[in-house]
Amino acid sequence: MAVFEGSCTAFITPFTENGDKINYVTLEQLIEFQLLHHSDALIGLSSMGEGTALSESERIEYLEFVCAKVKKRVPLLFEIATVSTQSAADLIVQAVKAGADGVLVPPPIYCRMNQRGIFDHYKYLASKSAIPVIAYNIPLRTGYTMTPKLIAELCRNHIVEDLVDGSGNFTAISEILSLCRDSLTLYAGSDDTILPMLAFGAKGAISAAANLFPRQLHDLIMSYSRQDTAASLNLQLQLTPIFRALSVDISPAPIKAASALLGRNAGACRPPLASPDSASLEHLRKVLLDFGALDERHE
């Protein structure tokens, strides 16, 4: 059974002006904005939410706050990105205790390992988790590619049943599905691959752009599920300039900047992430204006 279906927003974490604290007032407003505009699921502590920039105590406080505010209105996931297996297991325990519906787990960051080490990582975490452990293949962020053989082995051993793919390698996706199609639920891990991933049978997507346009991302995926591929394609093409503009700098800095332009200021990113320069901000503003998201009052 899929943990969620549709658009899952990897929502940003707002900070106070000097960045030393999470702005929980704004965080609650962002959560309610997502739910009001038809996000099908939410994920916190992701790279878009600067999860690795939070201290251990901040992560636990954040988990408890977000779970209390979402109140099971939609499936709620948390990304567990750590440098060790034990630290990931400890954070999963806290996520379960807070009331999460699932955890999204990439291979450990920074440390070097082989495919067997990655397998053992997921095996241990699954044994310690009372909620689904979703594998996250995101080589751009981890430096590791989870091979089709590894993913199939995880499925055969019932360690994971869900995969978010952020590699964009459709040859590998084809091989994965040939090995374990009937035992794996697939999700897109980047906005620009949503439609092709749906064609491969994905049930939904983890979306960064949904921070800005949750209803449109929901409609894109739901249109495809209703077999209205023309509407889904039209939305994917309409949103493509937005997806490209959000790559003008390292995420989530462009997303936070665009959110502020749209009237939902979440503050700056924590160091070492820097805010976009003036040229990038102007490009974002122009793309949002062309998309119809800004009017003359924002110029």
In the annotated binding site for pyruvate, the residues are 206
Is the previous residue joined to 241 through a cis bond, with omega within 30 degrees of 0? no
Sign of the CA dihedral 277, 255, 221, 134?
positive
Distance, CA of 45 to CA of 103 (rounded, Å): 10
In 3D space, the residue among 60, 10, 1 whose CA is nearest the CA of residue 190 turns out to be 10
Any residues with CB less than 8 A from the CB of 198 and at least 6 apart, and which? 188, 221, 224, 232
Question: What is the largest distance, in Å, between two alpha-carbon atoms of the chain?
Answer: 57
What are the residue ranges of helices labelled H in the chain?
A: 24-36, 56-70, 85-98, 115-128, 139-142, 148-156, 170-180, 194-199, 214-225, 229-245, 253-261, 278-291
136 catalytic per annotation: yes
With vertex at residue 94, the alpha carbon angle to CA 140 and CA 141, rounded to the nearest 5 degrees, is 5
Candidate list 136, 144, 187, 224, residue with the active-site label: 136
Residues annotated as catalytic are: 136
